Amino acid sequence: MLELDRISVARGELRVVRDFALELPRGEMVALLGPNGAGKSSTIMAIAGHVPVVAGEIRLDGRRIDRLTAAERTHLGLGLVPEGRRIFSDLTVHENLVVGGYLLPRAEAEAREREVTALFPRLRERRRQRAGTLSGGEQQMLAIARALMVRPRLLLVDELSLGLMPAVVDLCFEVLQRLCREEGLACLLVEQNTQKALSVADRVTVLSAGRIVWQGSAAEARADEALIDRMLGLEAG
């Protein structure tokens, strides 16, 4: 479904990611790991259309999308849960979801809101609550639910687990895994929590200083625990 064909990503004058290649088929979850500053968020933002791709191509179902605007990519089925969640604190849960579904006709948006809040019942109970007063976990659920409003086929998630209790992280990943299994959603997850990432993902890509240093199945990575640590530079050797 998603093909990243040797893309390079620029931040200002600087190329922060080079020659990044990845294929992400329907229903699959790929974890993107790497130390701070490796270029993980830049890669995600480039796929979503918020940061320029200066070489290579991005294709979604065979169609080239790297010249399209972010809104056009959303329209084609690309959802983003950005680093830091970026929900609208002054709006209610319901209003945030309306913003997420702005591309949809009204009746469809209402139906979709019922579906995404069924995935996260705590959001349904807090429909009229201001998003800024939600707990961190609830805000992450809202950020995911908002991205799901347009029924994306590909979801990009940057640091889902950051600062959250394990139970909430598990709940969010269970929802994503179910969507992958049942609806063929493809997910690209940036994660700091390596163990969690390896337990939920099918495949793993490790980025360091803007280059891919390892790609393989999550099972391979789990079988050699030191491997990813080594790649992340957490351990000597």
Site for ligand ATP in 38-77 (CB under 6 A): 38-42
Shortest gap between Cβ of 37 and ligand ATP (angstroms)?
4
161 makes contact with ligand ATP (CB under 6 A): no
Site for Mg ion in 12-41 (CB under 5 A): 40-41
Q: Of 95, 86, 163, nearest to 129 (Cα)? A: 95
34 makes contact with ligand ATP (CB under 6 A): yes
Q: Which does 34 bind (CB under 5 to 8 A by kind): ligand ATP, Mg ion, none?
A: ligand ATP
Q: Which is nearer to ligand ATP, 45 or 97 (CB)?
A: 45
Q: Which does 85 bind (CB under 5 to 8 A by kind): ligand ATP, Mg ion, none?
A: none
Shortest gap between Cβ of 205 and ligand ATP (angstroms)?
12
Q: Which residues bind ligand ATP (CB under 6 A)?
A: 11-12, 16, 34, 36-42
